[in-house]
Structure 1
């Protein structure tokens, strides 16, 4: 069921920008779920169909603190697989956009971290820089050394930071430039590509 939920989140991140309902071929949806084409058989169709049923049956309840009213909804309002048409239909509750957005960012983070094997400094830099607000001021290497708790000498720590930042640039997450002011090194962030591509970050169900 986990793979299918990941597929749902990715589908809405790419196809659900103008509507909370999407229709797509089974083969497309299976790819979003991470299944190889060689597995597109009857068993997989049954498996995915059952997973969609289970996900749709998962209910959520929201209640404001001190309020008598409660809102009941589901992780999906509708999830169906049409065997005759070999198509999948998904309908999400727009009030859950934050849930989808959060899970999407988790998936993106996992994707980025998987591109940084055995690069601990780069991984830590990624998680730190990702959390910075839009248009951050230049980040000093002193601040980064403290954040990463690098205990080696300043020169060696700065070298590790610079190598880590260049690694993030090489995988397409970051663009920026290095500068020195009053003997202190800084990194000036130009842009963060949260999808590892030169496109703006899209959130499920949202155009803003």
Structure 2
């Protein structure tokens, strides 16, 4: 949703400035859409997690290019930026991250700590009231544990300072008071003010339930600029960060793209450029109103 307003001091991290008109508009998360920093969608932070990976889910990503424009990086001269932690799933961890962003969007950034009812936080994570039980609480606890494990490291060649922080500093699920307490790092709030944010439609994620590869490609494609895209199979493999054989990864990616066509999101063409498999993303429809199709050359 977009809400026009006069351009003044920007307090909300979901405010986007229109440079040509010197006005701004607000990206408003709701039950159908979530505001997401583009960098986290493009990087392999949220990916499919196979059952065999549950005991080995670590990742290390060089995020220097994607996050070097952050104010904290520019001011301190940080040019070497890395993200590492537990591999985060699309099925649960990403939905919990959506809940964290929604909670901060509603309760503000005047304090690093916010507190809200567990039932409200659960709804922000996509749970229905009838689904809130002991098992759901355990899953949310595990997801918050995974999110808090994600460490961001900022260093620079010509600076004596460095920064180590987390996506989530602390989270408390209090069953006695039925409340959730979340603590964030104020130096990372600017991440949500990133120049390029996306109002991510959640309908597609619902339509792609239990199809983590398709969900991962959906959020990746939604983070890209509007218009036709040219993306290699290799880049899709890098984004999904799968550990199977290349031919099996290619098959998973093709099935995922077919799922995106099936729900009416995608129209693409596959072709060969030398030995490289390429895709032309002809059009995308976040509202799932397009008649998707896939063709091969």
Larger Rg: 1
TM, length-normalised to structure 1: 0.50
